[in-house]
Structure 1
Amino acid sequence: MNLDLPWLALGSFASGFGSLYLLAQLQAHWDKPGARWFVATIVTQTVWCFSYGAALLVFDPTLRLALEMVSWLGIIWIGFCFLSFALGYTGRTNVLESGWYRGVAVLPLVETALVVTNPLHTVVWQGFRVVPAAGSAGADYAVLPVGLLTIIVAMLFVSFGTLLVFDTVVSYGPLYRREALAVGLSPIPPGAAVLLWAGGIGPVPAVNLTPLLFLPHVALDLYAFVHSDMFEFHPATRRAGERAAIHDIATPVAIVDEQGRVVNLNAAAEQMLAVDKHEALTEPLNDFLGGDDIATDGGSSRVSIEADGRHREYKVQQTALRDETGTQLGYTVVFQDITDEIRRERRLEVLNRFLRHNVRNESVVIQARSELLATELDGDHADYAATIEQSVGRLVDSGQKARTLAEAGAGGATPEPVVLADLATEVVETARDEYDGSVTVEIPDDLRLTTQPALLKILLTNLVENALQHVPDAVVTVGAKVKGDDVVLTVSDDGPGVPEHELGVLERGRETDLNHGSGIGLWLVRWTATTLEGDLDFDTSDGTTVTVRLPRERTAAEAR
């Protein structure tokens, strides 16, 4: 044994200690995707560096050959471990856990067996002998085709893994561009050293310089994975999110090209169409829709699909797929199941029709008879009849409000310019004819907004009527002003204020058996304000001031 520590051995040991330091720094990330395979890669690298450093000090042929075999095992397994790390780190666990990839693991196992048993068959190398080289114990032997193939396979594993990491990390954008460059460059020094050594090229052909060149590899990995926390924000999250956004969601999604031919289907779409994805590929999507064709134009439509004996209605929304240059490649077609929604709408239509006709007609009859009784009877009986008349009148009025809202909402009116002062004056004059109290309009004559007039009229009417109905001889002020891009509309009265339980119901957005409002007026206010994209606020500190903040300009798309 040569007791003088040569610089080549020192370099190998330095790479080994650097690898150990990298392992220590990554300990907190060992549970992250791909991290355990990265640890296996660095462990293999560490063993390789220390064993080869020791080999450079050993001139005994048997021991030197055993240590040389460890270096070969390092070449074999470092490539497979690095590729496995790349698959896990970039979120390709489905490949990593697949049966065919487990089959790939047979390659390094076979290569390991060949290296360990090479003295018996000499198919990996032959003519091994120890030679002095640069003050170290070098090794001179001929690498045979099987050995060269072993090295090439290992380098291909490293190359594929590097491409996966480089491509995926770069897709994050500028956040990790420098780190991705570091990952892409880190395998180059040791990889080049392996290839040069295998070809017998270099300043010291009898010495494998790969362990020495692991030093820049470790430095680049430290920069990428420790300094920049690349294990903290890993691409596996993005890939899993992309997969969940299409493949794992319950909503059917189809990817089609510009001609409407199927490129991909998620599991929900396969179930909806009752077709296997592989059978549907390259076929027109319309062939599976049962006669309700959709136009591949990026728009929306509705289709009826019957699968497994079930009839379902779907709203179809298409989104254009474009590459980074803006070239259109096809469409993402999303099918939203609206069967239950349509059934609810139809039930509500029947119920609404029943309430509008049957209940309203019967209520009018009761109201007329009670009014007649009130004029014919005396004393308490006349009061009873008057009470019935008033109650039925309120019921009829609520029904009319509900009908008004239903008709206004169903119209889908296009926004148009409205002179707010004129609209408010019209509402106030109508209210004055029906209620006591005084109403003042304080709105600039030139204040205009683009909105849906019918809904705005319902909103304003119910605010004014609510104040006049519940406050005897109320003094009501209707005002408005422009604030930024909005119009702030206020209706104030001098009454006791809207009860807290009424406001609480509106804030919750629903009623219960124990918590409910006394009428439909405030609900009309809330619904119309929401539909008009307005913000609603109640101030009951001094009377009641209702503030509605409305956008001054609404487009037809916003109204829809």
Structure 2
Amino acid sequence: MNLDLPWLALGSFASGLGSLYLLAQLRAHWDKPGARWFVATIVTQTVWCFAYGAALLVFDPTVRLALEMVTWLGIIWIGFCFLSFALGYTGRTNVLESWWYRAVAVVPLAGTALVVTNPLHTAVWQGFRVVPAAGSAGAEYAVLPAGLLTIIVAMLFVSFGTLLVFDTVVSYGPLYRREALAVGLSPIPPGAAVLLWAGGVGPVPAVNLTTLLFLPHVALDLYAFVRSDMFEFHPATRRAGERAAIHDIATPVAIVDKQGRVVNLNPAAEEMFAVDKHEALTEPMNGFLAGDTIETDGGGSRVSTETGGRRREYKVRQTALRDESGTQLGYTIVFQDITDEIRRERRLEVLNRFLRHNVRNESVVIQARAELLASELDGEQADHAATIERSVTRLVESGEKARTLAEAGTGDAAPEPVVLADLAAEVVAAAREEHGGEVAVEIPDDLRLTTQSALLEILLANLVENALQHVPDAAVTVSAAVDGDDVVLTVSDNGPGVPEHELGVLERGRETDLNHGSGIGLWLVRWTATTLEGDLDFDTSDGTTATVRLPRERTAAEAA
């Protein structure tokens, strides 16, 4: 045994030590996607480096051959481990866990069997002999076609894995541009060395320089995976998110090309169309619809499908698909099931017509007859008639408010400039005429805001009306002031305050059988405030003070 420790052996040992250091640095990340396969890759690399470093010091043919076999096993397994790491790291666990990829493991297993049994059949190499080379124990032998094929397959595994990591990490943008370059370059020095050695090319053909060139490989990996935390922000997160955003959601999503032909369907879309994705690929999307068509122009529409005798209605939204250069490739089409929504709308339309016409008309008849009876009767009977009249009057007023709510719709009207003092003066004048009482307006004449004036009028009118209706000899004050980007509108009165149970209903946003409000006026206030993107607050410590904080400027997009 040569104990001079030549530089080739020292270089191999240095690469092995560097690999161990890389393993130690990555210990905290061993539970990350692909990390265990990366550890397996570095362990294989470490064993290879130490085994070959020892081989360069051994001139005994039997021991030298055994150590040479270990380096061959390193070549065989490092490619498979690195490719497995690349699949896991980039989020392709479905491939990594597939049966056919597990079948790929037969390739390195077969190579291992060939190498270990080579003395029996000499199918991988032949003519092995130990020769002095550059002060080390070199080895000369002829690598046969089976051996060359084994090496080429291993290097293809490494190359494909490198491309996966490089492409996926680069897609993160400038965040990991330099690190991705390091990952892409790191396998080149040892990979080139393996191929040159297998081809008998190099300054010292009897010596494999691969382990020496693992040093730059380790340095580049340390830069990419340790210094820049590439295991902290790994591509698997985004790939899983992309899969969940389309594949796992319950909303049907289809991807079509510019001609409207199906490129991909998520499972929800397959169920919606009652078709297998593979059968639908390249077929026109419109062929799966019940007589409707989708114009691939990026616009929205409504379509119908009929599956199992059941018809469903969908709202369609399209988003243009573009590559990084901005070239349009097709559209992502999202289908929102609005069947139940349409049915509710139709039921509400019927109910609304019934309430607005039948109930209102009958209530007016009852109100008129009760008023007539109250004027003609005396004593207790007159009181009963008056009570009926007041109750029906409240019912009619509630119906009018419901009508106001229905006619206001969803508040899609475009925002417009509003002089708040003028609007408040109109609302107060109408309220005084109907309910009486004193209302003071303390709003600067120049206070303007851009909002949906019809909703703001409903909001203010119901706040003022609520105070005048429920407070005898009411003294109501309407005021407003600018606070930053908001307008703070306040309506206060000197009454006993809104009952806690009614405020509780508003805070919960729903009514129950045992806990309900006395009318819909406060509901109108809450709904309009929310639609106008305002904050509503009630203070009942001294009378009732309703405070609404509204944005001073609303755009059309915000209103929609």
* 1:322 and 2:322 are equivalent in the alignment: yes
Q: Which amino acid aligns with 2:367?
A: Q
Distance in 2 (CA, whole Å) between partners of 1:481 and 1:186 is: 65
* Alpha-carbon offset, residue 412 of structure 1: 4.3
* 1:126 and 2:123 are equivalent in the alignment: no
Structure 1: which 5+ runs fail to align? none
Task: Describe how 1:33-52 pairs up with structure 2 within 5 A.
Answer: 33-52=33-52
* 1:535 and 2:513 are equivalent in the alignment: no
* 1:205 and 2:174 are equivalent in the alignment: no
Task: Describe how 1:1-400 pairs up with structure 2 within 5 A.
Answer: 1-400=1-400
Secondary structure at 1:38 match in 2: helix
How far does the alpha carbon of each residue in 1:7-55 deviate from its partner, in whole angstroms, 9 at most, with x for none? 3223222322332332233333222211221121112112111211221
* Alpha-carbon offset, residue 466 of structure 1: 0.8
* Alpha-carbon offset, residue 101 of structure 1: 1.9
Distance in 2 (CA, whole Å) between partners of 1:484 and 1:292 is: 50
Distance in 1 (CA, whole Å) between partners of 2:114 and 2:315 is: 61
Instruction: Give the structure 1 partner of residue 459 of structure 2.
Output: 459
Q: Which amino acid aligns with 1:538?
A: F
CA contact (8 A) 2:56 2:136 kept: yes
Distance in 1 (CA, whole Å) between partners of 2:301 and 2:558 is: 19
Instruction: Give the structure 2 partner of residue 474 of structure 1.
Output: 474
Structure 2: which 5+ runs fail to align? none
CA contact (8 A) 1:439 1:478 kept: yes
CA contact (8 A) 2:411 2:531 kept: no
Of stretches 74-83 and 319-328 in structure 1, the one that deviates more from structure 2 is: 319-328
Secondary structure at 1:503 match in 2: helix
Distance in 2 (CA, whole Å) between partners of 1:480 and 1:139 is: 94
* Alpha-carbon offset, residue 220 of structure 1: 2.4
Distance in 2 (CA, whole Å) between partners of 1:212 and 1:132 is: 18
Percent identity of the aligned residues?
89
* Alpha-carbon offset, residue 81 of structure 1: 0.6
Of stretches 497-506 and 459-468 in structure 1, the one that deviates more from structure 2 is: 497-506
CA contact (8 A) 2:84 2:96 kept: yes
* Alpha-carbon offset, residue 378 of structure 1: 3.4
Distance in 2 (CA, whole Å) between partners of 1:124 and 1:152 is: 13
Q: Which amino acid aligns with 1:197?
A: W
Distance in 1 (CA, whole Å) between partners of 2:437 and 2:359 is: 32
Q: Which amino acid aligns with 1:98?
A: S
CA contact (8 A) 1:436 1:472 kept: no
Distance in 2 (CA, whole Å) between partners of 1:89 and 1:134 is: 40
* Alpha-carbon offset, residue 193 of structure 1: 1.8
Distance in 2 (CA, whole Å) between partners of 1:527 and 1:436 is: 26
TM-score, length of structure 2 as denominator length:
0.95
Secondary structure at 2:80 match in 1: helix
Q: Which amino acid aligns with 2:434?
A: E
Secondary structure at 2:409 match in 1: helix
TM-score, length of structure 1 as denominator length:
0.95
Distance in 1 (CA, whole Å) between partners of 2:556 and 2:227 is: 51
Distance in 1 (CA, whole Å) between partners of 2:411 and 2:21 is: 71
* Alpha-carbon offset, residue 71 of structure 1: 0.5
* Alpha-carbon offset, residue 336 of structure 1: 0.2
CA contact (8 A) 2:450 2:553 kept: yes
* 1:436 and 2:451 are equivalent in the alignment: no
Distance in 2 (CA, whole Å) between partners of 1:328 and 1:446 is: 49
Q: Which amino acid aligns with 1:514?
A: L
* Alpha-carbon offset, residue 452 of structure 1: 2.7
Secondary structure at 1:247 match in 2: helix
* Alpha-carbon offset, residue 402 of structure 1: 0.6
Distance in 1 (CA, whole Å) between partners of 2:414 and 2:15 is: 72
Secondary structure at 2:320 match in 1: strand
Q: Which amino acid aligns with 1:470?
A: H
Distance in 2 (CA, whole Å) between partners of 1:411 and 1:209 is: 75
Secondary structure at 2:477 match in 1: strand
Distance in 2 (CA, whole Å) between partners of 1:318 and 1:276 is: 22
Distance in 1 (CA, whole Å) between partners of 2:537 and 2:551 is: 15
